[in-house]
Chain A
Amino acid sequence: MQALTNRSKVVSKKEMTFMERMYLPAIFGGMMITFSHFFRRKPTIKYPEQKREFSGIYRGQHVLKRDEKGAERCTACGLCAVACPAEAITMVSAERKPGEENLYREEKYAAKYEINMLRCIFCGDCEEACPKEAIFLTDRQVSVYGQRKSFIYGKDVLVESKDSPIDLAKRQTPSVKEFKLHKEFGHNQTYDKNKKVNAGGHH
């Protein structure tokens, strides 16, 4: 019969030699490869006793930062939520009342701010979109829970505590630091009646 393709191979049924019939040389050959791996450098580490070093800009669990005075920076502008490709962020805004100036930096704040960590893909677009330097990703990892609802992080988890602020110095790249030096870009500084915006120059 004519073959359909030219890929068919003729199987040879050659008689095995004595060495091949013994099998042992082949077994020892295989074991040599296996044992040689014992003496190689191990790629695994003993987590959790040992921890791998994270990159300075590792994108892990989010934090909502407070400003120097301890007031929340987030104004619930919604840019993180609209930038989020996974649609993981939701928020409800509220108006700051007189006397709450030490709690919230601006006249509007996020009364509710939720990130669904199961939806989040840790792309960092929220951090990039934020005009108020409020949300950052950190080098912390998201914990493990038994229930789905535990992964919906509210403000109780996301907002940093006043006593132990989270250091983000590593995330401030040289270009960010350079940008902050330029006063002429300070167009959208915090609006404060008593504070002079871009003070300096002619007086």
Chain B
Amino acid sequence: MAKVTIDGHSIEVADGTTILQAARMIGGDIVPPTMCYYSKLKTSGGYCRTCIVKVTKGSEKDPRPMPKPVASCRTTVMDGMEVVNITSPEVLEARRGVVEFLLINHPLDCPICDQAGECHLQDLGYEHGLAKTRYDFPRRTFNTIDIGPYIKMHMTRCIMCFRCVKTADQITDYRVHGMLNRGDASEISTYIQKAIDNDFSGNIIDVCPVGALTDRTFRFKSRVWFTKPMDAHRNCTKCSGKVALWLKGNDVLRVTGRKDKWGEVEEFICNECRFEKKDVKDWTIEGPRHIDRHSVISANHYESLAKLKLDIGKQQKALSTKK
């Protein structure tokens, strides 16, 4: 066991826990934001540097501070370690720089992008107030590619987090896409636009923190904040069948995995559930899915409205049984 203090909050965690995992156990504002780390994917993290924190005391045995900010998703805790995140102006300044770098080639075409409203880069950019750009050069752009019948790729929006590559490696049987070239020229691509047709390939849409990989069946259908997320399930032979349905009226516009408060899916779902079951009759709806009230998705009050409808239904039932 190791005792670690993050922004003044102490917690005892098992050896081998990373600083990020310890921060998530504490919860609240002190949790560093992540773009590439995904707890369900092994060896993810360490690429984007948004989760950097400062270690002011290495450990009980060696209390020297670490010389530079470290990536909290890849640094394991030591007994007596002291970490600062949001209480350190230095860390916030460094993170601002990281976000600025992430936004150098990102087009910020949020009004068009289907990810807007649930995009981590959007939150990050907003949080750090980066309305300005200091970049003078033309940005790198790519044409959009259809990866198979279900997935659309906008390479221009990609931030090179490797999540989709790791998903394909670990969740599906084989991987047909990967990172090509190096440095500024690197890009995610399939060999000769080979279609990804694995049963679990749709999960790369869910793990993508930006709008680089989007659902072709949902393309431009609706903004996410005009749809109502509902927990639903069905008997599926391939996956757990537990999903979040995004409804508009009684139309199923989109099916995704159920994302937790860190934006990570609870369970990966299969392509049949995700892309082919677009009828509300295919699903057993459990109820409205709770979304943080600060999210723009909660702006359409679907949660209270669904409760109200349920209440009215109950009252009507009670009245009809009285007669």
Q: Do A and B come from one complex?
A: yes
Stretch at the interface among A14-22, A120-128, A153-161, A189-197: A189-197
Interface residue total, chain B, C-beta cutoff 8 A:
30
CA distance in complex: A95, B152 (Å): 13
Residues 272-313 of B at the A interface (beta carbon under 8 Å): 296, 299-300
User: Which B residues are in CB contact (< 8 Å) with A94?
Assistant: 220
Contact of A198 with B223 in the complex, beta carbons under 8 Å = no
User: Which B residues are in CB contact (< 8 Å) with A202?
Assistant: 136-137
User: Which A residues are in CB contact (< 8 Å) with B223?
Assistant: 77-78, 82
Contact of A77 with B132 in the complex, beta carbons under 8 Å = no
User: Which B residues are in CB contact (< 8 Å) with A77?
Assistant: 110-112, 116, 223
A188-B109, A200-B136 known; A78 and B141 CB under 8 Å?
A: no
User: Which A residues are in CB contact (< 8 Å) with B139?
Assistant: 197
CB distance from B301 to the nearest CB of A (A): 11
User: Which A residues are in CB contact (< 8 Å) with B103?
Assistant: 187
Residues 90-112 of B at the A interface (beta carbon under 8 Å): 103, 107-112
- A93 located at the interface, meaning its Cβ lies under 8 Å from any Cβ of chain B in the complex: yes
- A137 located at the interface, meaning its Cβ lies under 8 Å from any Cβ of chain B in the complex: no
Contact of B133 with A184 in the complex, beta carbons under 8 Å = yes
**Chain A contact residues, majority secondary structure:** loop
Of B112, B134, B136, B141, the residue contacting A107 (CB under 8 A) is B112
A77-B110, A187-B108 known; A193 and B141 CB under 8 Å?
A: yes
CA distance in complex: A30, B17 (Å): 92
User: Which A residues are in CB contact (< 8 Å) with B47?
Assistant: none
CA distance in complex: A76, B223 (Å): 9
- A81 located at the interface, meaning its Cβ lies under 8 Å from any Cβ of chain B in the complex: yes
Of A79, A82, A95, A187, the residue contacting B133 (CB under 8 A) is A187
Residues 246-270 of B at the A interface (beta carbon under 8 Å): none
CA distance in complex: A108, B116 (Å): 14
- A186 located at the interface, meaning its Cβ lies under 8 Å from any Cβ of chain B in the complex: yes
A77-B223, A108-B220 known; A191 and B134 CB under 8 Å?
A: no
CB distance from B300 to the nearest CB of A (A): 8
A95-B220, A108-B220 known; A198 and B112 CB under 8 Å?
A: no
User: Which B residues are in CB contact (< 8 Å) with A146?
Assistant: none
User: Which A residues are in CB contact (< 8 Å) with B174?
Assistant: none
CA distance in complex: A191, B105 (Å): 11
User: Which B residues are in CB contact (< 8 Å) with A139?
Assistant: none
User: Which A residues are in CB contact (< 8 Å) with B156?
Assistant: 191
Of B112, B136, B143, the residue contacting A201 (CB under 8 A) is B136
Contact of A199 with B138 in the complex, beta carbons under 8 Å = yes
CA distance in complex: A201, B134 (Å): 11
CA distance in complex: A116, B220 (Å): 23
User: Which A residues are in CB contact (< 8 Å) with B136?
Assistant: 198-202
Write the chain B residue with the least CB distance to A188.
B108
User: Which B residues are in CB contact (< 8 Å) with A193?
Assistant: 141, 143
Write the chain B residue with the least CB distance to A134.
B111
* Leading 7 A-B pairs by shortest Cβ distance: A77-B111, A201-B136, A78-B223, A184-B132, A188-B108, A196-B138, A108-B112
- Chain A positions within 8 Å of B, measured between CB atoms, are 75-79, 81-82, 93-95, 106-108, 131-132, 182, 184-188, 191, 193, 196-202
7 residue pairs A–B, Cβ–Cβ below 8 Å: A77-B112, A81-B226, A82-B300, A95-B219, A108-B220, A187-B131, A202-B137
Apart from A82-B299, A199-B136, A202-B137: 8 A-B pairs, beta carbons within 8 A: A75-B111, A77-B116, A82-B296, A93-B220, A93-B222, A95-B220, A106-B109, A108-B220
